[in-house]
Each structure stands twice: as C-alpha cells, then as structure tokens.
C-alpha cells in the first residue's frame, strides 16, 4: 500500500487495528532472536520467502518497486528486477520455475521466470493485492481485508476464500503471509503481531508478539517502518522476520504462548 495513502488511512484506522489485535483472545507467544542479518533500508518490504539458501523479496512504492534475490549472510543482491514504474509492487511467491508477483491496486499480477527474472506473463484478480504464500497444492493471497483467497497455482484463478477471525471477531488488514508447519502466518498491518491461522477454519489459534524487535532495529513502527515480512526455511527449520525499511532481518525462535 502507498506510503502517503497508508499514512492517511493509518491515522483513521490504526487505533481500531491495534485495539483489535491487542484485545485478541487467542493465546499470545513471544520469541527469542537467534541471529540478525543485514537488510536493505531502502527496501519497502511487501513479500518475502526463502528458497535454496537465498531470500527472495518484493518491495513497494511506485518507481521504487523491485524483486530481488539476495544472499542471507551478506545482504548482497544476486539477482534483481525493477518493476514497471506504473505499478506499486506487492507480495511475491514461487511456484516451480516461476515467480508470481502482485500489484497493489491495478488488479494485475506479473509472472517472472525464477532464474532470469524475465517477465513471461501476467494474470488478473479483482480488488487489491497484498501478499502471497503457498503450500504444495495451492497459493494463498491476502488483499488487506480479513479474507484469505485460495488460487490454483497453475491457472491463478480463485478457487475459494475463508475469513480469518479470532473468536468470531474478523482480523482485518492481513498482510504478508508465510506457510509454516501447516499453519498460515500473517502480519497484521500497523501492528507488531503475527497471526497464526488454522487455514481450514480461519480461526486464529495464537499470536506472535514482536514489539521488542522495534528498538533493536532502531525503528518506531508508527510510520512506514512497520513490521512486514515472514520467511521460512523448511529444511533448516528457521523462521525469519523483518519490516519495511528495516536495517535487519531476524531469525527468531518462537516462545510458548500464554
């Protein structure tokens, strides 16, 4: 979502969003930091995932959106594609030898070759595009509401959707997504919490509170530098989180929920 518009919308909705997340009745768990890695402070992070030892990241803002493959240890970019300046880039996900990338309000998704980053096609969807993730059978998409859409990974057509709720209360502004051990993790925009979602029911089964990362990262989390970005290394069982314009990406270990 655009920096200026997000700020204006945030002034109106932030208290509602924060109240909703903080008043959640699902159990809340914390974390410990395992390691911190460098992260580009110019990256307005929208999408994040881990594959074959590299971080793949998509960013937003018109004229500044890009998709990048970078070395986790050094932060050095190995491959990069600048997104057409007409578009505000959003989430990204891999499927076989392809990358699927959303745009915010243009209702257009772009398909890239995962090795060359060459544009090889596009797809369409109604409404806004925020984030993508996948399991081995389907793609999951957020659109800024309390709903998660399911997409066929080959046709990219919607096959269904489910509303995310915490004890019946809709959890709106679901943002960056990651599939981790059979659960869907979702950043909630303008909060410091990640929702752990049972994708079969849409129920939030727990929350991950990450407010402590803001001070270490040297950010306030009140402007554009909000928490956003989740990636998972399934082979190494490593969970990574970061935020927009943050100087660090963190590997964390989750603490039991209360």
Count of CA atoms in the C-beta half-sphere (13 A) of 80: 12
Greatest alpha-carbon pair distance for the chain in Å reads 47
The tokens describing 139, both together, are: 């793609």
Q: What is the pLDDT of residue 17?
A: 47
Strand, helix or coil for residue 221 = coil
Quick check: 50 and 233 in contact, CB under 8 A? Answer: yes
pLDDT digit string (tens) for 142-180?
A: 999 999 999 999 999 999 999 999 999 999 999 999 999
Residue 140 class from Cβ within 10 Å (0-12 exposed, 13-18 middle, 19+ buried)? buried
CA separation, residue 190 to residues 21, 44, 157 (Å): 10, 14, 29
CA separation, residue 161 to residues 35, 87, 100, 169, 185 (Å): 36, 25, 19, 17, 16
Helix (H) and strand (E) counts for the chain?
A: 2, 22
Average per-residue pLDDT for the chain: 91
Residue 71: CB atoms within 10 A of its CB come to 14
Contacts of residue 56, defined as CB under 8 A and 6 or more positions apart, other chains included, come to: 47, 48, 49, 50, 67, 68, 69, 92, 94, 99
pLDDT digit string (tens) for 53-84?
A: 999 999 999 999 999 999 998 889 999 999 99
Instruction: Give the single-character DSSP code of 110.
Output: E
pLDDT digit string (tens) for 105-136?
A: 999 999 999 999 999 999 999 999 999 999 99
pLDDT band at 24 (very low <50, low <70, confident <90, very high): low
Q: What is the pLDDT of residue 257?
A: 75
């Amino acid at each position: 979502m655009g920096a200026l518009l997000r700020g204006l919308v945030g002034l109106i909705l932030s208290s509602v969003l924060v109240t909703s997340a903080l008043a959640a009745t699902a159990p809340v768990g914390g974390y410990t930091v395992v390691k911190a890695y460098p992260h580009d402070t110019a990256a307005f992070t929208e999408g994040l995932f881990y594959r074959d030892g590299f971080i793949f990241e998509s960013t937003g803002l018109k004229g500044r959106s890009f998709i990048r493959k970078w070395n986790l240890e050094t932060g050095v970019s190995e491959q990069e594609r600048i997104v057409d300046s007409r578009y505000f880039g959003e989430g990204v996900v891999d499927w076989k030898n392809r990358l699927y990338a959303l745009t915010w309000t243009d209702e257009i998704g772009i398909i890239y070759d995962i090795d060359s980053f060459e544009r090889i096609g596009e797809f369409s969807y109604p409404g806004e595009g925020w984030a993508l993730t996948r399991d081995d059978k389907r793609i999951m998409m957020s659109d800024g509401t309390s709903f998660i859409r399911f997409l066929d990974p080959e046709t990219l057509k919607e096959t269904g959707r489910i509303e995310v709720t915490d004890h019946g209360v809709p959890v709106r502004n679901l943002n960056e997504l990651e599939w981790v051990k059979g659960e869907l993790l979702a950043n909630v925009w303008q909060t410091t919490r990640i929702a752990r979602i049972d994708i079969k029911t849409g129920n939030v089964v727990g929350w991950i509170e990450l407010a402590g990362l803001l001070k270490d990262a040297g950010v306030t989390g009140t402007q554009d530098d909000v928490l956003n970005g989740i990636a998972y290394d399934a082979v190494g069982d490593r969970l990574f989180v970061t935020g927009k314009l943050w100087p660090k990406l963190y590997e964390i270990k989750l603490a039991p929920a209360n």
